[in-house]
Amino acid sequence: MVVPLSQQEVHLREYFYILRKRRWLFLFFFLSMISLSFIFTAMEKVLYRSTTTILVERESPNIVDFTEVVTMDASTSEYYQTQYEMLKSRSLIERLVRKENLEQDPYLNRLRKGGIRQRLHQFLKDQKLLTKWLDEFLGKRSLADVFVRRMLEVEPVRNTRLVKISIKHPVAVRTAEIANSLVDLFIQQNLENRFLVSNQVTELISGQLVEMKEKVSDAEKKLQEYKENNKLITIPSIHEKDKFIQDAKLELVKLQAEEARLSARYLPAHPKRIHIRSQIQSLEGKINEELEETLELSRKAVDYDQLVREAEGARKTYEALLARLEETDSQAKMQASNILIVDRAQVPVRPYKPQPFTNFIVAFCFGLMGAVFFAFFFEYLDSTVKIPDDIEKGLGMELLGIIPDATETEKKDASKGELYVLNGPHTPTAESFRALRTALLFRLRHLPSACSVILVTSPNPEEGKTTVALNLATVFHQNKLKTLLIESDLRKPRLYKFLGVPQEKGLSEILEGNLREQDTIHKNIDQVGFDFLSCGVHSPHPTEILGSSAMRHLLERLRLTYDIVIIDSPPYHPVADVAVLSDYAEAIVIVARYQKTDKRHLRDIKRRFSQEGNKIIGIVINRVSVRERDYYYHQYYYYGYGDESGKK
C-alpha cells in the first residue's frame, strides 16, 4: 500500500535538493539584488540631514473666560496634530523661502524640475501634444510644496510632546541653517498669532465697552426722569403701609363692636353713638386712602425697581468689560510662546543618504528570501518527473529504475549509437540497464507464462522508450535469455535504422498475410545477439492491423520460441496503438523522461490501465542528469563504480 504524500516524512535534504537544482535561478536573483543595491547606492545622491527638536507645551486660551465662545482642550491630540500641520503651512514655508533665499537654491530647483510630473509636462510640450486644458494640470509646483514633500520631515516623538524637525540637503551647512531658521520662524509666527488674537479680543471688548457705556447712560437717564415725573425721592416701604392698614382695620373692628354695645343701651341720637360713628367713618376713610396710596405705590415701585435693575446691570457689565480690557492689555504685553527649542540643529558630520551597509543588508535579506521563494515557486509550477518520490509517493506507482544521461565520454565513444550497454560495459548507463533487467526479472518470475511479453511505451514522443527497449533487449540477451525485439511503431519507426536492417519484410507484412515470421525476423543481429522484427512498410491502418487476430496469433507463436518478447510501441497519448497492444502483453513498462514528462500524463496512463486490470509493473526515469547524483539516486545506481576511465 502506498502511503499518501501528506503522511510521508519530508526530509530537510529535499529542500536543499530543490535549492541545488534551482541554483542558477537562485544565484541569478540573489546576485541581481546585490548588484542592484550597489548600483542604487552608487547612483543615489549624497544627502545630509540636520534635526531640531522642539517642545510643544499645552496652552488653554484664557482671554474671555466670562463669555468664552470657543472652548479648546489643548491636551487632546487634535491640538498637537494642528501644530504639526502648521509646521508645513504654506505661509510659514514661503517666509522661510524668502529668508533663506531658497528660490536660488540649486537643489530645490532641481527637485522642482526633475519630477516625473515635470518630465511628462516637458515631453508633452516637446511633442506639441499639450493643450491649454492639460497645461493647467501639469504646471509647475510651488517651491513650498516641493520643500515640504522632498526636504522637510516632521516627526513627533511618541508618548511625548517633543517634535523632531529635519531638513535634507546636499550641503551639510545648509541643513542646519534651514532647520534652525524654520523653527525660529515657527516660534515667531506663533507669537504673532497670539498677539493678533489679543488685538482682536481687545478690539472686540473696546467695541462692547462703547455700547455698554451708552446703555448705562440711557438707563440712568430713564431712572432720573421717572423720579422727576413722579416726584419721588425715595420709595416708602410697602410693608409699613400694609402694617398700618392691618392695625387700622383691627381698630375699626373694635369701634364697630363698641358701637354695637352702645346701640343696645342708647338711641341713635345719643351723643356717645354719634361720637363712635364719627370715629368709625374717619377710620374707614383713612383705610381707603391708605389702600389707594398702597396700590399706587406698588405700581410705581415695579417700574422704579425695573429701571434701577437695568441701570445697575449695565453698570456692572461695563465695569467687568473695563477690567477685562485692562487684563487683556496686560497679557498681550507679557505674551510668551508655548514652543520651546530643546536641541538646535547641528552641522552633520556624515551623510544621511546613501546608506551602503543598510542597503546591502536589505538587498541580502530580500535577495535571499526572494531567491528561495522563486526557487520553490518554480519547483511548484514544474509538474514534470524529477525525483523518485514523484513516482512512488506522488503517483503511487513503482519505480523500476533510473537511467542516467550519457556522459560526454560515452557520447564520444558511441560507436554503436544508443546501444550504451555495448559502448562501455561498466559505464553508469550500462550498469543502470543491468539493474533494470534485474528488477524486471524479479517481477516477471511471478508470472505463470514461460515467455514474457513486455510492452515498452512512454506518454509522449522523444522520452527514450526506443532506447530503453533496445538496451533492454541487449541486456536480456546477455543474461542468456532468448530475446526478440519487435518494432510496433508503424508510424515513425527508428529501430531498423539503429540496427542497420532493411525496413521491408517486417511486422506489417506478417499481419497482412503477405509473409511468415520465419521470413521476416532477423536472427542474431550483428554484435547484439537478440532477434529483431522490424515494422515493415508503412501501413495506412496501423491501429487496425495491430488489433487484429493476426497479431494475437503471431505473439502466441512467438511465445513458444522466445523467453522474452519486447514490444517497442508508439507513445501513449498521440495514438491508440498502446491500448490495443496492451491486451497482448503481460507487463507494461512506462518510460518517463527526467524533467520533461508531465506527472499528469502518467496519471492518465495509470487511470487507463487500472480500469482493465493493471499491467503496469513500474516506471523507468530516463536520462537523469549525472549531476543530480545525490541521496535521491544513490540507491538506484552508483556513478563511476567499476569504470576504468573514472579512475585517477
Q: Are 429 and 410 in contact (CB under 8 A)?
A: yes
In this predicted structure, the answer to whether residue 304 has a pLDDT above a threshold of 70 is: no
Q: Are 220 and 311 in contact (CB under 8 A)?
A: yes
- Lowest mean pLDDT: which of 32-46, 419-433, 541-555? 419-433
* Angle, CA of 261, 265 and 267, to the nearest 5°: 110
Q: What gap in Å lies between CA 546 and CA 522, rounded to an integer?
A: 20
Please give the grid coordinates belonging to residue 426: 561498466
Q: What gap in Å lies between CA 174 and CA 180, rounded to an integer?
A: 10
**H or E stretch at 197:** helix 172-229
- Band of residue 416 on the pLDDT scale cut at 50, 70, 90: low
- Band of residue 567 on the pLDDT scale cut at 50, 70, 90: very high
- Band of residue 637 on the pLDDT scale cut at 50, 70, 90: very low
For the stretch 137-179, pLDDT in tens is 555 678 888 899 889 999 999 888 899 999 999 999 999 999 9
- For residue 616, the cross-strand partners are 588
Domain 383-637 sits in CATH at: 3.40.50.300
Q: What gap in Å lies between CA 455 and CA 478, rounded to an integer?
A: 20
Q: What gap in Å lies between CA 281 and CA 635, rounded to an integer?
A: 149
Backbone φ and ψ of 405, nearest 5°: -70, 140
In this predicted structure, the answer to whether residue 547 has a pLDDT above a threshold of 60 is: yes
- Band of residue 30 on the pLDDT scale cut at 50, 70, 90: very high
For the stretch 33-84, pLDDT in tens is 999 998 988 888 889 999 999 998 876 444 444 344 344 444 467 888 888 8
Percent of the chain residues past pLDDT 90, beyond the cut:
16
73 residue type, one letter: D
pLDDT at 411: 61
Average pLDDT rounded to a whole number, residues 529-538: 87
Average pLDDT rounded to a whole number, residues 89-111: 88
Ranges of CATH 3.40.50.300 domains, the chain? 383-637
Picking from 633, 623, 619, 625, the residue whose alpha carbon sits closest to that of residue 591 is 619
Q: Which CATH architecture has domain 201-333?
A: Orthogonal Bundle (1.10)
In this predicted structure, the answer to whether residue 136 has a pLDDT above a threshold of 80 is: no
Percent of the chain residues past pLDDT 70, beyond the cut:
73
pLDDT at 538: 74
pLDDT at 63: 43
- For residue 483, the cross-strand partners are 564
Ranges of CATH 1.10.287 domains, the chain? 201-333
Please list the alpha-helical segments (H only) found in 479-570.
495-499, 507-511, 517-520, 542-546, 549-559
- For residue 341, the cross-strand partners are 54
- Lowest mean pLDDT: which of 270-279, 324-333, 490-499? 324-333
Picking from 533, 613, 547, the residue whose alpha carbon sits closest to that of residue 584 is 547
- Band of residue 502 on the pLDDT scale cut at 50, 70, 90: confident
